[in-house]
Chain A
Amino acid sequence: MIGIIRSLGRWGLSTFERLGRGHLFLVQILAGIPGLFLRFSLVIQQLFSVGVLSVLIIAVSGLFVGMVLSLQGYYVLVDFGAEESLGVMVSLSLVRELGPVVSALLFAGRAGSALTAEVGLMKSTEQLSGMEMMAVDPMRRVIAPRFLAGFISMPLLAAMFSAVGIIGAFLVGHGLLGVDDGAFWSQMQAKTDWYDDILNGVIKSIVFGFVVTWIALYEGYDALPTSEGVGRATTRTVVHSAFAILGLDFVLTALMFGEG
């Protein structure tokens, strides 16, 4: 019994310690960001590996999510004779929830894990301490550009996900199920609000991008410098990011749409 309590305590202490180090790490990253605007080419390189390389998975997933939503929604709505509301249903669920959340989960799996593995390997092959000894601060040279790139990419990817999803839903709804295209778009436009729905979705995705990139970089930087350590850190990135995304989604949804 004492043993269980003791291990619980140890777990709690180490968790708090990691949280504390994670926040210090974030402060160091943020301190490194202003200097990046003088050397934006570093960020562009990272935008390529973090953002551009995630486009394919985001676009394909978005298309299929939209198509499935359309198909499922149609069979429910048609019973009420409300199949013309298909556009609203799809656009609201994509823009408010699925766009930011699913694209953030995919981003954590695709770009987050890659960031962790990359930084972890740079640490284990002494590249980071090599830089330090060359008087180059790895926080500024390696970590901060990646952070900024993740932060910029995420809302763009989420917008692509939603847009492609809506197009997919339209293709299925109009092409396959024969929903009137005018009603599809007009109902969607009538009931999707730019500020309440779309901007709030964008804010969500910015928050998710911030958190996922932060977790990924911290796990990589904090990884044990062995191949096993890097592997574990990569897994942790995906798991912790998923928890963080879903938990924050609940909080943000309650804050944003609670009164409405």
Chain B
Amino acid sequence: MPLIKIRDLHFSRGDRVIFEGVNIDIHRGKITAIMGPSGTGKTTLLRLIGGQLHPDKGTIEVDGQNVHQLSHSGLYALRKRMGMLFQSGALLTDLTVFENVAFPLREHTDLPESMIRDLVLMKLQAVGLRCARDLMPNELSGGMARRVALARAVTLDPMMIMYDEPFTGQDPISMGTLVNLIHRMNDAMGLTSIVVSHDVDEATEIADYVYLLSGGKVVSEGSPVDLKRSSSQWVKQFMQGLPDGPVPFHYPGVDFKEDMLNPEVSP
């Protein structure tokens, strides 16, 4: 049985439809990548799984529990078992790196100070930032901030972790570090990982299974190898990053020639 089961998910923001009947299964112990062009609602999907947003229709089950029918305390209990890595890191800017990682422990447990210290240093060691523990978040580079956020996301030893665009805006070295870390965390801690990304190379490198989203629907799914071999024009365009194809280069409208000749016409 999959850890996360999304069935017939519909969601819209105002007049804009974001999901129209999405079905996704996330399997335990695997890294699942969810890819798609910008603006397809990949981050929204993570927020729906985390229970921060409510779907218009359809269900999301995490570990057998319907996220949107849980009580407030039930939802918070479930969230303790979910980790999430935000695009910006979302570190608390008024706390040091150490205190940021210690934050979930201090909020949810009554552990003695010495044990908190041991746990935090272990997590920071795993992301290679043990000696940066006294820095403030504004002194960190983007890649370091994400690593701290990763350490924080796993302090409570969750069953799963959701990565929101972990590779965006990273230099090649920190990108490599993150790819490596996500892989290692998943294997060492027996986590289930969901990676939302549009960086095809990195995502396909670590993912066991890939969903491609576009226009509010799952366009294609399969292992990275399957998708690379896919015959669909759209999948080919996305996976290879071609400028023109089923997704046109030009914003749809009237023909160029006609537009130039008729000043009156509007697209």
Contacts and interface: CB of A to CB of B under 8 A. Distances in A.
Contacts of B50: 132-133
A133 B82 contact: yes
Interface stretch (B57-65, B102-110, B183-191, B212-220): B102-110
Nearest to B81: A135
Interface in A95-134: 121-122, 125-127, 129-134
B106 to A, nearest CB: 10
Interface footprint category on B: 20 to 34
A254 interface: no
B52 interface: yes
Nearest to A141: B107
B93 A125 contact: yes
Contact of A134 (B52, B88, B103): B103
Contact of B88 (A125, A131, A132, A133): A125
B90 A137 contact: no
Interface in B59-99: 76-77, 79-80, 82-84, 86-88, 90-93
For this complex, into which size category does the number of interface residues on chain A fall? Answer: 10 to 19
B92 to A, nearest CB: 6
Given A126-B86, A126-B88, A129-B86, A134 B107 contact: yes
A136 interface: yes
A137 B86 contact: no
Nearest to B76: A135
Nearest to A121: B93
A137 B77 CA distance: 12
Interface of B: 47, 50, 52, 76-77, 79-80, 82-84, 86-88, 90-93, 103-104, 107-108, 149, 152, 156
Interface of A: 121-122, 125-127, 129-137, 141
Closest 8 CB pairs of A and B: A130-B90, A135-B79, A126-B90, A133-B84, A135-B80, A135-B76, A126-B86, A136-B107
